Amino acid sequence: MLLQGRTCVITGAASERGLGRATAKLFAEQGARVAILDLDEAAAQAAAKAIGPDHRGYACDVTDRDACLGAARRIREDFGGIDVLVNNAGITQPVRTLDITPENYEAVTDVSLRGTLYMSQAVIPTMKDAGRGAIVCMSSVSAQRGGGVFGGPHYSAAKAGVLGLARAMARELGPDGIRVNSITPGLIQTDITAGKLSDAMKAEILKGIPLNRLGDAIDVARICLFLASDLSSYVTGATIDVNGGMLIH
């Protein structure tokens, strides 16, 4: 049990076929008590119930700093502490550069980038008090290769910002025993991609993936588990690619 007795917070984890839900399920199997955060409290509670009786769901808009602080406070009251945070919440939009409106830009960057900062700010004091903690930030291969998957340039920018933020936090928080790392998934089969890929599109995409398959949510969840657990106790400021070789650099 790699996470026995630890409290793990995962944002944006209510979607049934999402990266967050797969991560929550795997963490629960490894002994964690999981707190699922989502805009929809009923959906978050249902997701928590689906993985077992020891887990809880909470409403939280990660773009609202007060909401993040409030959610973290409730989790501490219910579980006694916070050991792991997975900043998973994010949205994407397939919009080209000249078509990006201020509303588009703010929506995408607010959830991925501002949300990562606010939720991290909400849990860091608890981790500092404990002298240890692990924060996992979800970026994207889009940030590294300049888009070309689903999201527009503003999505690439937001996810590139996540990488910079995570590395800066890792440098700052290392002396406090808090590790901060990032994951850059490639094309993963989730609710976001469901129904958007024709057989012809898949065949074309697979030509650029050496492992010759699209990713599954569990592929990303396993790397989250590695970064959340003591298996990665001497790893911080790292970026781990989960893309089947779509980008080798």
Active site residue 58: no
CA pair distance 75, 69, nearest whole angstrom: 10
DSSP conformation class of 249? -
From 58, 118, 155, 234, the catalytic residue: 155
Q: Strand runs (DSSP E) across the chain, as ranges?
A: 7-11, 33-38, 56-59, 84-87, 133-138, 178-185, 188-189, 215-216, 239-242
Helices and strands per DSSP (H, E), number in the chain: 9, 9
CA angle 138, 139, 143 (to 5 degrees): 175
Strand partners, 138: 183
The residues near 134 (Cβ < 8 Å, ≥ 6 apart) are 83, 84, 85, 178, 179, 180, 181, 227, 228, 229, 232
Looking at the annotation, which residues are catalytic?
A: 155
